[in-house]
Amino acid sequence: MEIQSFNPPRRILMGPGPTDVPPRVLAALSRPTIGHLDPLFVKMMDELKSLLKYTFQTSSDYTMAVSAPGSAGMEACFVNLVEPGEKVIVCRNGVFGERMRENVMRCGGETIIVDDPWGRAVTPEKLEAALKAHPDTKIVAFVHAETSTGALSDAKTLCAIAKKYGCLTIVDTVTSLGGVEVQVDGWQMDAVYSGSQKCLSCVPGLSPVTFGKAAVEKIKQRKSPVQSWFLDQSLVMSYWSGEGKRAYHHTAPVNALYALHEALLLVQQETLEHVWLRHKTQHLNLRAGLEELGFEFIVPESERLPQLNTVYIPEGKDDVAVRSFLLQNYNLEIGAGLGAFAGKAWRIGLMGYGARNENVAVCLHALAKALKN
C-alpha cells in the first residue's frame, strides 16, 4: 500500500469537541518552530500566561498550560493536591465526575460521592449535607460543565460551601472556560483545569490549569512526593515562572503553544463578556430551531449549558444512520450520547469559533433533511 499525505476534509465540528479552529489559530500553528528555551519563546510563554490569567479571571502566577489534553490537567490537579488517606468529596453527575473519583482512588484518597442524576446540575444542598457528615474532608471536586450531558452547575455556590467547611476545591472547566462565565478568584476556586479544544477553539492537546494560593501552599507542604514526575507542579512551574532563564523540565509543544497564544488573543480581543454573550445568543437561536423541529432538551433550561445542547433522539430515528447522513452530506459532525444516554441522545456543540450564525443555520437545515430522510 502506497501511503500518501493525509488531507482531511473541512468538517463543521458541532459535537462536544474538538471544535472548529479559526484560520488565525491554524496559521499560528504553522509558524517556524524555535527552541523551547529560546528567549523569544520564553517571552511568548509569559504572554500566554497573562492571556490565561485573563481568561480564567485570576491573578495567580501559578497559571500555565499542561503539555497534554484536559485529562492530564485533571490528573495534575489531583496528583498534586490529594495525598494518601485524605478524604475527598466528589460531586458526580456524569462521565467526568466519575473520572474525578477514579483519580482520587489512584492517589490513595478516600472518596465520598455526592450523586445527582445525569442531565442535572450538582445539588448544593447535597454537598453541604456530605460536608456536615464528613467534617474531616480536605477537598471538594466537581465538574462545572458536564460534557457528557450539557448540565451547568453553580460553581460559585459550590465553592462557597466548600470554603465554609475549610476545603480546597478542584474544578473541571473543560467545557465552560471561554463559553460561560468563569471567575476563578471571584468564586474562590483553588485548582482549575480546562482544555484547549473546546470553547477556546484551539487544537487538541493542551490543558490550561491554574492554582490559587491555598492550593500552592498545600502542594508545598505535601508529606509525600507527587506520584507523577511529569505533572509535579513544583517542577513544572520552574519552567513556566521566573525572570529570564527557565529550568528545563520537558520539551514543550512549541507550535501548539503558538496556537493557544493566538486563540487566547482572539478571546481577549473580543472580550470575555462578548464571548459569553455570543454563546448564549447562538444557543437561543439553535434552541428555537430545534424546538421547531420537535426536539426535546434533556437538561432543564435553568441548568443548561449554552455551548453543549443535549437532545433526545426522535422516536424511530437511528442514531448512527442520522449522524452518518450529516457527515456524508453536509460534512457536519454532531456528538453521540455517552453512558446512560448512549443511543438515546445527541450532543450538539456551539463552542468558540463554532458559535456563529452560519453553523446554526447549516445544522438546523441538515437535521431537518435528516429527519425526513
Q: Mind listing the domains of the chain with CATH numbers?
A: 12-18+272-372 (3.90.1150.10), 23-268 (3.40.640.10)
pLDDT on residue 105: 97
Pairing relationship of beta strands 139-143 and 145-146 according to DSSP bridges: unpaired
pLDDT, tens only, 255-265: 999 999 999 99
pLDDT, tens only, 116-172: 999 999 999 999 999 999 999 999 999 999 999 999 999 999 999 999 999 999 999
Q: Please report, to the nearest 10 degrees, the dihedral formed by the alpha carbons of residues 84, 90, 96, 98 taken in order.
A: 70
- Euclidean distance between CA atoms 306 and 137, whole angstroms: 33
List of residues 6+ apart from 266 with CB closer than 8 A: 22, 24, 25, 201
pLDDT on residue 234: 87
Pairing relationship of beta strands 110-115 and 87-92 according to DSSP bridges: parallel
17 in Cβ contact with 348 (< 8 Å): no
- Euclidean distance between CA atoms 106 and 84, whole angstroms: 9
166: left (phi over 0), alpha (psi -120 to 50) or beta: left
pLDDT of 248 over the 90 cut: no
pLDDT, tens only, 191-201: 999 999 999 99
Pairing relationship of beta strands 191-193 and 207-211 according to DSSP bridges: antiparallel
- Rounded percentage of the chain residues whose pLDDT exceeds 70: 99
Mean pLDDT of 101-113: 98
pLDDT on residue 244: 58
Find where cell 503553544 sits.
Answer: 257
Give SS3 for 271: coil
By CB neighbour count within 10 A (0-12 exposed, 13-18 middle, 19+ buried), where does 128 fall? middle
pLDDT on residue 243: 62
How sure is the predictor about 240, in pLDDT bands with cuts at 50, 70 and 90?
confident
147 in Cβ contact with 348 (< 8 Å): no
- CA angle 282/149/299 to nearest 5° reads 65
- Euclidean distance between CA atoms 364 and 373, whole angstroms: 14
What is the reported pTM? Answer: 0.97
- Euclidean distance between CA atoms 154 and 114, whole angstroms: 15
pLDDT, tens only, 328-339: 999 999 999 998
How sure is the predictor about 174, in pLDDT bands with cuts at 50, 70 and 90?
very high
pLDDT on residue 176: 98
Edge to edge, the sheet with strand 87-92 lists 63-66, 207-211, 191-193, 168-172, 139-143, 87-92, 110-115
How sure is the predictor about 189, in pLDDT bands with cuts at 50, 70 and 90?
very high
- What value does the mean pLDDT of the chain take? 96
How sure is the predictor about 241, in pLDDT bands with cuts at 50, 70 and 90?
confident
90 in Cβ contact with 141 (< 8 Å): yes
